[in-house]
Amino acid sequence: MVKPIIAFDDVWKVYQMGEVEVPALQGINLVVNRGEFIVIAGSSGSGKSTMMNLIGCLDIPTRGKIMLDNENIASMTESKLAITRGQNIGFIFQQFNLIPTLNALDNVMLPLAFQDVDDSIARKRAMELLDIIGLKDRITHLPSQLSGGQMQRVAIARSLAVNPGIILADEPTGNLDSKVGKFIMDFLSKMHSEENKTVIVVTHDLGMIRYADRVIYLKDGKIEKTTANKKHDISKNRRDEK
């Protein structure tokens, strides 16, 4: 039986702008099962970024419950939130968010350092991930010495460093050309299918829908509709391209 890994129960996020309350999310109910590939889609101002922050334990709801592995993040302290996201969620951002003074290897090792993993073990893990992502020959390069696609691959390797159950990607192909973007999405799909990662992609790009098990459409802070999706066969595409 598939178990939920994330559950939103009547979740609201309301921001106070002076004397005015601005609801960014309104009464969200959503269950994400372990091992699903979810796309959260919507235009600017739909509430996507707010929802990503809540899923990623970067913020807590104004009211309602968010259960992550049966723990209510709304009742967590800031330090507990930091521990939870550090252990359970791998982040991939549109702007990469690499540390400019650290080389590729050290950027990938960083999440492991936060978890107090022994340096030799962290180095081995980071080397393995950079090899998998095709950047074994770029480990000593700084972000400024890498292309956009290479930086995003480093960011993906970093997101996998602690072997999280959830990969949360915010517009992961937004700054990349179509060829590199396809590589990134195919790789995330592989992580989902072969390693049972729960992948959640937040995007306005409807071209990503083909990778998803389900698509959650947001509008004005509410779920407008949810659709199941028959994904294309990624493995077949790889065979065809050889």
pLDDT of residue 150: 93
For the chain, the farthest-separated pair of C-alpha atoms sits apart, in whole angstroms, at 60
pLDDT of residue 174: 82
Total domains in the chain come to: 1
pLDDT of residue 1: 58
Residue 23 lies in a domain: no
pLDDT of residue 155: 93
CATH number reported for the structural domain that contains residue 133 in this entry: 3.40.50.300
Rounded Cα gap, residues 6 and 165, in angstroms: 11
Residue 235 lies in a domain: yes
Handedness of CA 173, 134, 87, 194 (dihedral sign): positive
How many helices and strands, by DSSP H and E, does the chain display? Answer: 7, 10
Nearest to 51 by CA among 81, 5, 94, 8: 8
Query: What helix, strand, coil percent values describe the chain, rounded to 5?
Result: 40, 30, 30
Residue 18 lies in a domain: no
Residue 159 lies in a domain: yes
CB neighbour list of residue 20: distance below 8 Å, 6 or more residues apart = none
Give the domain extent around 43. Answer: 35-58+78-241
Residue 67 lies in a domain: no
Distances (CA, A) of 55 to 50, 81, 90, 140, 202: 9, 11, 11, 33, 11
**If you write DSSP's letter for every residue of 133-147 in order, what string do you get?**
TT-GGGTT--GGGS-
* Contact in structure between 168 and 6 (CB atoms under 8 Å): no
Residue 10 lies in a domain: no
pLDDT of residue 44: 87
| pLDDT in single tens digits along all 242 residues of the chain | 567 899 999 999 999 988 899 999 999 999 999 999 999 999 888 999 999 999 999 999 999 999 998 899 988 888 888 888 888 999 998 889 999 999 999 999 999 998 899 999 999 999 999 999 999 999 999 999 999 999 999 999 999 999 999 999 998 888 788 888 888 899 999 999 999 999 999 998 888 899 999 999 999 999 999 998 765 444 444 334 33
Residue 8 lies in a domain: no
Residue 12 lies in a domain: no
Rounded Cα gap, residues 122 and 127, in angstroms: 9
